[in-house]
Structure 1
C-alpha cells in the first residue's frame, strides 16, 4: 500500500465526528504523555522513532490489521519514514502532515449562531491547543475576540464573507498562546481593544476596554456591560453579545475555572477570581450561553465541535462554581495547580510587545496542552 498524508483539517473532522482512529505516535514518551491528539474514539500506541530505526517488525502484533493507522511525530519527517515501513508491511498507513506542530496551529471554523438583524457568530476551535476565538459578523463589519497568531485564517474568512474587520479584542493578557489581535488590527486598520489593567507595561497603542462600554458592530451590539471579571488576570473582561452569548475569556470554562497564578499573584488575585465567579456571574441570567477562550478536555466539545453551555448549567455542574467555603476555594486555586504553560513568561512579554520572537520560536513557545485552568 502507498503512504498518504492526512492534513490537520481531515484529522479535526474525525475528532469532532468521533470516528474510530488508531494513532501510532513516534515521539518520545515524555512528549506523548504531556500532549497528544485527543479524541473520544482514538486508540494509541506510543513507540519512539529511535526504537523503530531497524524496522517495525517488533510492533506489528500491536497494530490493527484492518483499520487505518495514522502515524504522528513532532514535524512529520519521522512519521513519514515509519509510515513507509508500515505500508511495506501491508498496513493502511497515513501520516499527519506537518506533525504535531501543524496540529497545534489548526483552527476549525464552526458557525455557532445567527444573531439579530442578520448577524452571525463564529467560533474558531484550536483543537490541538484548546484555544477558542470568535468572530462576529454583522452588515459589512466584523469583530474578532481572542484571536490566535494564525491571523491569516481570520483575515481570509472575513474577505470570503465580504466584510471589513473593524474591531479586534483581547479579553485579557494571554499567557499560554501568542495573541494575533494586534497584528490583525495593524494589517486591517481595525481598532485594537485591550483591558487597561493588563496593559501597564505594553509597548503599543490600544483602545481601553472599560466597564459599561457598548459597541455597535453592524446591526449587532457587543455589550461589555459591568463585566470587569478579574481573577485570571487583574484586567480580565467578559463580553455579552446580543444579550445571549457570554464570552468569559479565561475566567470560566465549561469544566473548570481560570487559574490566578500566571502573573505570580495567586494569593492577591484569588479574591478577585471568587468575586467574578460567585458575584458577577451569579447576578447574570442563567440563560446566557457561556463561550470561553479555552477548553480543557475533548469531552467539553458539543456534537458539532463547538464549545458552549448555558450559564445556569455550569452553575449546577462546574465544581469551581460550587465551593461554598472560601478557604476551601482559596486552597483549590492556589495549592493544587497544574504545571504552568510552556514558556508562559516569554508569551506574556510577547503579548505585551516587549519581545518579537521568530515564527519558529513562537511555535516552540506554544508547544504543549492548554494549562489555563484549575484542575
Structure 2
C-alpha cells in the first residue's frame, strides 16, 4: 500500500506552530545524534533502517496510535519502505518525509518581520533545518537580499509575488558553513552583488565593495542599508543597520551566543577583533536596535511568530558572550573547546570564493548537517 508523504513545508509549519508529532528516524544513530528535525513539541525514536529489514514488529508497541508518525531518512527512500511496512501492519497515521533530511536542509520559510517606514517591508527567510537566516528588504518596487542561500529561486519567486525587483544582494561576510547564493542571485536578477573586500581577497569574480560607512538606498523611500565594519567571525565581517531600526549582525552576534573566529584558521588573530566589535562597536549603537542574525543555534531562539530577533539592549543583558569582563577568559572561551568545524567548510569557502564550482548534488552534500558558526 502506498504511503502518504509529508512535505518539508508542512513539517516546518508544525514546528513553528508547536504542533505535536512523533518522528521515527531511520538513519544511523550517529547521523541522528548529529542532526535531526528539532522541535520541543515532537517525540522521537531512532531505529536504523537496517535493523528493520526483517520487519517492524519489534517497534510497533513503541509507536503512538493517536498522533501522526513521520518516518524520516536521509533522502526519502528508506522512510517510504519502513512506512509501507507500518501501513501493512495496520497503522493509518504514518507519513514519509518527502525528500528526507536532504530536503529538510534546503527548505526556506519566509516570515514577515515588520513594516518599515514609508511603506517598506522586511522579511526573514528561516532555513529551519540548517539554522540559516536570510533577509529581503522591500521598498517602492525594489528589494535587497542579505545573506542569500544557494536556493535562489525562493527569493526570485517571492520578489515576483510581491511585485518588486531585486536590485542589490549583500553578504555580510564570506560564509564557511553554507554556500552563498549571492553571486548567482545577482546573475539571475541583474542586481549588484556586495561583499566586504577584506573577505574577498581571493575571490575570482567581480563584486561591489561593501565598506564601512557605505549607504545603499532601496527604492525611493530612503530605506538605507548602512554598513558597519564589524570583524571577528571573519576579518571582513560587516553589519547593516536597516531603516535605523534593525541591526543585521551576520555571524558576529546571535541571540544566544556569539560568532566563532576560527573558521579560516585565524582564531588567535581575530579573537580581539571579535571582542572589539561586540564590546566597543556594538556598545556605541542604540539599545533599541533589533538584532537580526544570520543564524540561530537552537529552536528556543525562535519567537512566537517564528522570527529570530531581539533588541540589542536585551542581548547585552542576557547573552553570556557579551558579559565576559576578563579578556583572557573571553579569549579562552572563543578559542578553546569549540564545536566541530562545519562539514566541508574549506570547500564551502572555496566555492564562495569562486575557486571551485561543484555540481548541485555535491553542494547539497557539502551542506548536510547542523550549522556550527557559534562559539557554543
Question: TM over 0.5: same fold?
Answer: yes
Partner of 1:255: 256
Tell which deviates more after alignment, 86-95 or 5-14.
86-95
Contact 1:4-1:93 within 8 A present in 2 as well: yes
Task: Please give the alpha-carbon distance, in whole angstroms, between the structure 2 residues aligned to 1:104 and 1:180.
Answer: 15
Q: Distance in 2 between matches of 1:356 and 1:57?
A: 46
Distance 2:90 2:255 in 1: 43
- Any idea what SS the aligned residue of 1:281 has? helix
Distance in 1 (alpha carbons) for counterparts of 2:2 and 2:78: 16
Verify: 1:130 aligned to 2:131, yes or no.
yes
Q: How does 1:79-158 map to 2 (within 5 A)?
A: 79-91=79-91, 92-158=93-159
Give me the whole-angstrom Cα distance separating, in 1, the residues matched to 2:174 and 2:338. 19
In the other structure, the counterpart of 1:267 is 268
Deviation at 1:88, TM superposition (A): 1.5
How far apart are 1:2 and its partner, in Å?
A: 5.8
Q: Could you say if the C-alpha distance between residues 151 and 325 of structure 1 is closer, same or farther in structure 2, counting changes exceeding 3 Å?
A: same
RMSD (Å) for aligned C-alpha atoms? 0.8
Deviations 1:221-271 (A, max 9, x none): 23325x210000000000000100000000000000000000000000000
**Post-superposition shift, 1:48?**
0.3
Q: Quick check: 2:139–2:223 contact (8 Å CA) kept in 1?
A: no
Q: TM-score, normalised by structure 1?
A: 0.99
Provide the residue aligned with 2:55 in structure 1.
55
Q: Write out the 4+ residue segments of structure 1 that deviate beyond 3 Å after TM superposition.
A: none
Does residue 212 of structure 1 match 2:213? yes
**What runs of 5+ residues in structure 1 fail to find an aligned partner?**
none
Residue in 2 that maps onto 1:184:
185
Q: Describe the SS at the equivalent of 1:101.
A: helix
Task: Please state if 1:7 is matched with 2:34.
Answer: no
Secondary structure of 2:269's partner?
A: helix
Q: Does the 8 Å contact 1:214/1:221 carry over to 2?
A: no
* Aligned mates of 2:116, 2:89 — CA distance in 1: 53
Q: Report how far residue 3 of structure 1 moved.
A: 2.1
Aligned length: 374
Q: Secondary structure at the match of 2:137?
A: strand
> Secondary structure of the equivalent of 2:102?
helix
- Report the counterpart of residue 20 of structure 2 in structure 1: 20
After TM superposition, give the deviation of residue 161 of structure 1 in Å: 1.1
SS of the residue 2:71 aligns to? strand
- Answering whether residue 72 of structure 2 is matched by residue 72 of structure 1, we say yes
CA offsets, 1:45-69, max 9 Å, x none?
Answer: 0000000001100111111122110
Query: Which residue is equivalent to 1:279?
Result: 280
Question: In 2, Cα distance between the equivalents of 1:26 and 1:253?
Answer: 32
Indicate conservation of the 8 Å contact 2:290/2:312, yes or no: yes
Please give the alpha-carbon distance, in whole angstroms, between the structure 1 residues aligned to 2:2 and 2:53: 20
Work out the CA distance in 2 between the residues paired with 1:122 and 1:254: 18
Q: Is the 8 A contact 1:231 1:271 kept in 2?
A: yes
